[in-house]
Each structure stands twice: as C-alpha cells, then as structure tokens.
Chains A and B, each alone.
Chain A
Amino acid sequence: DTGVSQNPRHKITKRGQNVTFRCDPISEHNRLYWYRQTLGQGPEFLTYFQNEAQLEKSRLLSDRFSAERPKGSFSTLEIQRTEQGDSAMYLCASSLGFRDYGYTFGSGTRLTVV
C-alpha cells in the first residue's frame, strides 16, 4: 500500500494558462474523490468517480474544470483559463466502496495563480 499519490506537489501558473493535476489512488480502491481546500477552510467536495464513471459534480466545478478517470485507475483534474480565485490546495482521496470505510487522502497539489 503506497497510499494516494498526487503530482505535482506545487504548481505556479500565470492567469489564463491551463493546468493539469494527476492523482494515483490506492490500487484496490474503486472510488476517487477530488476536493479543494483554501487557506483556513475545510476541504470542499468537487467531484467523484466510481471506477471510470464520474457520478457527481459539485456546483463549484465550473465549465473550466474537467476531471477524468480513464480505465478506473489514475485520475486527472484539468483547469482551463486559470483565474486567481483558483489558487488553492487540490486534494485527492480514494476509498473502497462504502463510505463507512473512511477515505485515504493524498498530500495534495498546491496551485498558485499569479
């Protein structure tokens, strides 16, 4: 069990550029979640996948955001035309099926838009 891996750890980008983050979940976990955390706040849910199917998206996920999980393994989160308000920590978590098992979080990708 190598845990949930997120890359890159840090990303600085200019406003208007596109960025993509990657999450590698624990291999046997079929559910994968993306959250966003701003300074001094708790994580906010963005979207989740069960295997390769994206089953729920938050209203926080504007049209500029897209997430994929091809083949039900790793996932990518892309932000197009970044804005300063997108600056945050983006967290990935995975779980095995039911919510009662708890969730394993990655260390996150910190995005800074300048």
Chain B
Amino acid sequence: GDSVTQMEGPVTLSEEAFLTINCTYTATGYPSLFWYVQYPGEGLQLLLKATKADDKGSNKGFEATYRKETTSFHLEKGSVQVSDSAVYFCALSAGQGGKLIFGQGTELSVKP
C-alpha cells in the first residue's frame, strides 16, 4: 500500500542554519504531496504542496520539489528561525477518496 517515510527526529539546529528534512514515498498512480506543520499546542497547518512531478511547492521560505524519479519530496529552508520549531509531517494524497497518508513526523528544534 501507499506509504510515507520521513527522517527521524528530533532535529536540532542553530538559528540561521540550513534545514533539510527528508521524505520519500511509495504510491501507485500519481499522488499529490504535502508538507504539514504542527506548532506546539496547535492543529496541523498546510505548509506547502505539489501536485505533479517536478513541481516545487514553497511557502514562508520553505521549499520542496516533487521528484518522481527518486520518489522524494524533501523539505528545505535556507535559514531557520526559532519560530520554525515544530513538528513537520510529509503526506501524500492518492486515489479518488483523497485521503492523506502521513509520515511519522520530524520534530525540529531551533536554538537561538
């Protein structure tokens, strides 16, 4: 079945460091890919998405490119801030129902 695998956390970075969170997927067909963020005590928020191969999603300085050849959707940010501390979830949506399948989440902690 369809699945998403993320790099394990927690990831601890200093402010202004470069961030990469790896995400790979397994899916039949052509899924849409998403990154969601969950700040402490809050619900899931859509960070960015890509709907077809080679699409780049971007938002708030974060970027991810849909790579069909490597079945990957890695999240990157050039300079992280303390306010980026959160749990990041990679997800895919496939099939007529459009349900989301999530990875296990990667906790990011950014220190001043």
- When each residue 43-72 of chain B gets 1 if its CB lies under 8 Å from chain A and 0 otherwise, what string results? 111100101000000000000000000000
**What CA separation (Å) do A87 and B105 show in the bound complex?**
19
Known contacts: A42-B104, A42-B105, A102-B49. The answer to whether A107 contacts B43 by CB under 8 A is: yes
Nearest A residue to B101 by beta-carbon distance? A45
State the Cβ distance, B8 to closest chain A Cβ, in Å: 11
State the Cβ distance, A74 to closest chain B Cβ, in Å: 17
How many CB-defined contacts (below 8 Å) exist between A and B? Answer: 57
User: Contact check: which of A55, A91, A100 meets B97 at CB < 8 Å?
Assistant: A55
**What CA separation (Å) do A105 and B26 show in the bound complex?**
24
Q: Flag if B102 contacts A44 (CB, 8 Å).
A: yes
Contacts of A105 in B (CB 8 A): 36, 43-45
Total interface residues on B, CB under 8 Å, equals 24
The secondary structure that dominates the B interface is strand
Q: Flag if A106 contacts B43 (CB, 8 Å).
A: yes
State the Cβ distance, A113 to closest chain B Cβ, in Å: 22
Contacts of A31 in B (CB 8 A): 98
**What CA separation (Å) do A35 and B45 show in the bound complex?**
14
Q: Flag if B102 contacts A100 (CB, 8 Å).
A: no
Q: Flag if A108 contacts B43 (CB, 8 Å).
A: yes
Known contacts: A42-B89, A105-B45, A106-B43. The answer to whether A99 contacts B32 by CB under 8 A is: yes
Q: List 26 A-B contacts (CB under 8 A).
A: A31-B98, A33-B99, A41-B104, A41-B105, A42-B102, A43-B102, A44-B102, A45-B99, A45-B100, A48-B97, A48-B98, A48-B99, A56-B97, A91-B43, A95-B98, A98-B98, A100-B51, A102-B46, A102-B49, A103-B46, A103-B100, A105-B36, A105-B44, A107-B42, A107-B43, A108-B43
**7 other A-B residue contacts (CB within 8 Å) besides A42-B104, A102-B34, A107-B42:** A31-B98, A42-B4, A42-B103, A45-B100, A48-B98, A48-B99, A105-B36
Binding site for A on B (CB under 8 A): 4, 32, 34, 36, 42-46, 49, 51, 89, 91, 93-94, 97-105
